[in-house]
Every structure is written in C-alpha cells, then in structure tokens.
C-alpha cells in the first residue's frame, strides 16, 4: 500500500473507532515504519489490532508499527 494512502486509511479507521491520534511515517532509515501517537489512556492493543487489520502489516516488530503515548 502506498504510504500516503496507508496513512489516510489508518487515520480514518482509528477515527471511526473513536480514537484520537496522529499518524505518520518515519524519516530516514525508518521511512517504512508507521508512527502512531495516542493519548496515554488509549488501549495500545486495540490500536495495534485496528492498524494491522487496515494495513495487513504483521511480523517482526508488529509489522514495523510504532505506537507512542503522548505524555503532554
């Protein structure tokens, strides 16, 4: 899946699930990694399941998906 489309679809799916987040891709050597920033009270496993379902990513490091908790 193209990166721009992948980002858009992940954002849409998480929004439909009622999850507030920021979604993007890494830069440099991590350009292929999907970066998701969630609130600290959001269920990490739920987010990961939704993202993997949308993207089809699985395998090492949860399919190269990083989920970060915003501490602000």
Domain, as residue range, for 12: 3-70
Output the 3-class SS for the chain.
CCHHHHHHHHHHHHHHCCCCEEEEECCHHHCCCEEEEEECCCCHHHHHHHHHHHHCCCCHHHHHEEEEEECC
**pTM here?**
0.90
Going across the sheet that includes 65-70, the strands are: 21-25, 34-39, 65-70
pLDDT one-digit tens code per residue, 15-62: 999 999 999 999 999 999 999 999 999 999 999 999 999 999 998 888
CATH number for the domain harbouring residue 18 = 3.30.1340
Q: In the chain, how many domains are there? A: 1
């Amino acid at each position: 899946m193209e990166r721009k489309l992948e980002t858009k679809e992940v954002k849409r799916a998480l929004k439909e699930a009622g999850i507030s987040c920021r979604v993007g891709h890494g830069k440099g050597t991590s350009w292929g990694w999907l970066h998701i920033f969630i609130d600290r009270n959001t269920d990490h496993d739920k987010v990961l399941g939704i993202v993997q379902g949308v993207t089809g990513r699985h395998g090492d490091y949860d399919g190269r998906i990083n989920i970060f908790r915003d501490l602000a």
